[in-house]
């Protein structure tokens, strides 16, 4: 893989990322608990150890 190809891939992905919209979720996080976030990347999963 050449440097030019890597630069091209980075540039293309930067343009793609600009088109992605984020969805805001309302979650409650208690300060006295420990949380571990699990799941697939970009899947938005969370786990609370109550």
Structure confidence by residue, pLDDT tens digits, 1-50: 799 999 999 999 898 888 888 888 888 888 888 887 766 666 555 555 55
pLDDT value for 28: 82
Q: What predicted TM-score, i.e. pTM, was given to this entire model?
A: 0.40
Please give the structure tokens belonging to residue 20.
């992605």
Q: What residues does each domain of the chain span?
A: 24-50
User: What is the C-alpha to C-alpha distance for residues 37 and 49, in angstroms, rounded to an integer?
Assistant: 10
What pLDDT is attached to residue 34?
Answer: 86
d(Cα 43, Cα 26) in Å, to the nearest integer? Answer: 15
């Amino acid at each position: 893989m050449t440097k030019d190809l890597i630069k091209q891939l980075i540039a293309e992905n930067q343009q793609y990322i600009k088109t992605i919209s984020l969805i805001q979720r309302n979650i409650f996080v208690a300060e006295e608990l420990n949380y571990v976030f699990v799941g697939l990347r970009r899947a938005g999963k969370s786990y609370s150890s109550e």
